[in-house]
């Protein structure tokens, strides 16, 4: 019964008492037991008996005022959930037991969700591929030998495989967008501040680079989660409210066809992207044109050198300060990616930060001019198709060797640096059966409008109906 139900349908069945929370939880736990050993998506899990006891308790309480009542979720292992270790996939933090929940985790619990465990992450959240020395790599649901991307690959694989109804993630350099593309699901990076959180690395006037995000098989399922965790919190001075609900962002065919999309492609040749990825994205955009959505390929006048320099400066400084906040005493015990960022960040001074902020502002001015003619911008959600999960990262693209460990993630920095809400939508599969997605980018704080596009897109193309082969 539950196998073909949407989250909204499951939610309705719980409220009407047609199905018990115990049955819902057992359904997901059974799927975890069956498929997670191959995926390695959920890495820390509460004892099954304890989870079922919590479900029975919720059945007896019948808390119909809690919108997420009884829905199971596993938290990415970069965020704190009391009762679970927060390891960051890092051996030095394997015994780290948090004393309080992250802000959005508290909201999930207050709204009735059952936290059953933690999802796998890239070690210390750095790298773009979900693997670490504590738990190993997470597998791609369409090919178990391939990467699930990262750093929220555990969450995306769990959702794509049906182990969870939805999942949280965090996104700095594409950590919700890349994994969604590799899993044929939807991944959302909201405008920073929309989902409240505990923030570190905010000294020296650093902009917000990281935000919680989320995954779901379709936008309607995602809206059920989002509506309960967005909004301001007194403990997060960067947080804000929006007027409206994600679940209400239904638009007509006429409104949908009025949207204008600017296709950034490979940013005037600045981004090294596999040819097949550009082709599959362009083919999907042509399908949008067939339903009267205006799509125009742009030659964007955006200073890519400024984008890269500003981003790499602010990111390195942020990671450096996060490392200090985590009290990691032996920096050399970290991964080489984290050490690279730490050492770079250590040398960055206040003048460097101000220069990076000035560069960011110039890029913002340039992007504002482009948005004057378009509702959304579009970029591929990856530069390479899923690669061998035993690799740390792709070393070259199109035969060109990459100059840094994260140059293959360059497509993500436009949104991340300029505080633009972005949703990854599926666009199809290559000849080897590997999925891909495209980033749809909206204006700052235009999250609801962006979501209306995603809802209507799924209505038109039904990507959520496509299931992984291994299932």
Which pair of structure tokens corresponds to residue 4?
A: 């073909």
pLDDT score at 29: 98
Which of residues 327 and 176 earns the better pLDDT score? 176
pLDDT tens digits, one per residue of 331-357: 999 999 999 999 999 999 999 999 999
Q: Is 76 a catalytic residue?
A: yes
pLDDT tens digits, one per residue of 3-33: 889 999 999 999 999 999 999 999 999 999 9
SS3 225: helix
pLDDT band at 315 (very low <50, low <70, confident <90, very high): very high
Residue range 242-246: mean pLDDT, rounded: 97
pLDDT score at 471: 59
pLDDT band at 329 (very low <50, low <70, confident <90, very high): confident
pLDDT score at 469: 80
Res. 204: pLDDT tops 80? no
Q: pLDDT above 70 covers what percent of the chain? A: 98
First to last CA, the chain: 16
Res. 203: pLDDT tops 90? no
d(CA 406, CA 471): 32
Name which of 155, 157, 181 is nearest 168 in CA terms: 155
Residue range 57-70: mean pLDDT, rounded: 96
Q: Is 175 a catalytic residue?
A: yes
The CA distances from residue 156 to 108, 370, 437, in Å, are 18, 31, 13
Res. 202: pLDDT tops 60? no
Res. 442: pLDDT tops 80? yes
Name which of 23, 32, 69, 20 is nearest 162 in CA terms: 32
d(CA 394, CA 146): 12
Query: Which DSSP string corresponds to 206-221?
Result: PPP--EEEEEESSHHH
pLDDT score at 261: 98
d(CA 172, CA 150): 10
335 dihedral zone (left: phi>0; alpha: psi -120 to 50; beta): beta
Res. 199: pLDDT tops 80? no
pLDDT score at 243: 96
Catalytic residue among 93, 106, 157, 175: 175
Res. 286: pLDDT tops 70? yes
Cis, peptide link before residue 453, omega less than 30° from 0: no
pLDDT score at 3: 83
- Count CB neighbours of 231 within 10 A: 15
pLDDT band at 201 (very low <50, low <70, confident <90, very high): very low
Mean pLDDT over the full length of the chain:
96
pLDDT tens digits, one per residue of 133-163: 999 999 999 999 999 999 999 999 999 999 9
Contacts for 388-393 with beta carbons within 8 Å, 24 or more apart? 388/145, 388/146, 388/147, 389/129, 389/131, 389/137, 389/138, 389/139, 389/140, 389/145, 389/146, 389/147, 389/148, 390/137, 391/129, 391/147, 392/127, 392/129, 392/131, 392/337, 393/127, 393/128, 393/129
Res. 200: pLDDT tops 60? no
Domain boundaries, the chain: 2-465
pLDDT band at 2 (very low <50, low <70, confident <90, very high): confident
Residue range 169-192: mean pLDDT, rounded: 98
Q: For domain 2-465, give the fold.
A: Amidase signature (AS) enzymes (3.90.1300)
Q: What angle do CA 350, 353, 359 make, to 5 degrees?
A: 145
Query: Which DSSP string corresponds to 391-448?
Result: SSS-SEETTEEPSSTTGGGGGGHHHHHHT--EEEEEEEE-TTS-EEEEEEE--TT-HH
Catalytic residue among 79, 106, 151, 157: 151
For residue 399, give every residue at least 6 positions away whose Cβ sits within 8 Å of its Cβ, in sequence order, or none: none
Catalytic residue among 58, 76, 85, 389: 76
């Amino acid at each position: 019964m539950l196998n073909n139900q949407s989250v909204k349908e499951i939610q309705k069945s719980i409220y009407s008492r047609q199905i018990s929370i115990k049955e819902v939880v057992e359904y997901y736990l059974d799927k975890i037991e069956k498929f997670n050993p191959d995926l390695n998506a959920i890495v820390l899990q509460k004892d099954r008996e304890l989870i079922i006891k919590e479900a029975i308790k919720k059945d007896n309480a019948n808390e119909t005022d809690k919108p997420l009542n009884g829905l199971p979720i596993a938290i990415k292992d970069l965020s704190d959930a009391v009762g679970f270790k927060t390891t960051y996939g890092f051996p030095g933090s394997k015994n780290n037991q948090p004393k309080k929940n992250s802000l959005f985790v508290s909201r999930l619990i207050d709204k009735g969700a059952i936290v059953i465990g933690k999802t796998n992450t890239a070690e210390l959240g750095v790298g773009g591929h979900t693997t670490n020395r504590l738990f190993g790599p997470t597998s791609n649901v369409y090919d178990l030998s391939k990467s699930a991307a990262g750093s929220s690959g555990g969450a995306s694989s769990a959702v794509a495989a049906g182990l969870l109804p939805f999942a949280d993630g965090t996104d700095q350099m594409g950590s919700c967008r890349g994994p969604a593309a590799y899993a044929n699901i939807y991944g959302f990076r909201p405008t920073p501040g929309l989902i409240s959180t505990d923030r570190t690395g905010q000294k020296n006037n650093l902009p917000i680079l990281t935000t919680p995000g989320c995954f779901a098989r379709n936008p309607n399922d995602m809206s059920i989660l989002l509506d309960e965790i967005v909004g301001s919190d007194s403990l997060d001075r960067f947080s804000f409210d929006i007027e409206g609900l994600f679940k209400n962002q239904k638009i007509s065919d006429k409104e949908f066809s009025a949207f204008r999309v600017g296709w950034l492609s490979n940013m005037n040749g600045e981004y090294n992207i596999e040819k097949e990825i550009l082709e599959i994205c362009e083919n999907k955009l042509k399908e949008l044109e067939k339903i009267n959505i205006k799509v125009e390929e742009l030659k964007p006048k955006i200073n890519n050198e400024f984008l890269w320099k500003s981003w790499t400066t602010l990111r390195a400084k942020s990671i450096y300060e996060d490392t200090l906040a985590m009290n990691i005493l032996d920096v050399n015990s970290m991964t080489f990616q984290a050490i690279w960022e730490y050492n770079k960040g250590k040398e960055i001074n206040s003048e460097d930060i101000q220069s990076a902020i000035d560069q960011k502002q110039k890029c913002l001015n340039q992007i504002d001019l482009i948005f004057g003619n378009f509702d959304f911008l579009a970029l591929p959600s990856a530069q390479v198709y899923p690669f061998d999960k035993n690799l740390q990262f792709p070393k070259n693209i199109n035969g060109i060797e990459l100059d840094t460990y994260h140059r293959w993630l360059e497509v993500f920095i436009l949104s991340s640096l300029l505080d633009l809400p972005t949703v990854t939508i599926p666009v199809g599969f290559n000849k080897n059966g590997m999925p891909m997605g495209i980033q749809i980018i909206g204006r700052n704080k235009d999250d609801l409008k962006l979501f209306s596009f995603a809802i209507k897109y799924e209505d038109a193309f039904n990507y959520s109906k496509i299931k992984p082969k291994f299932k």
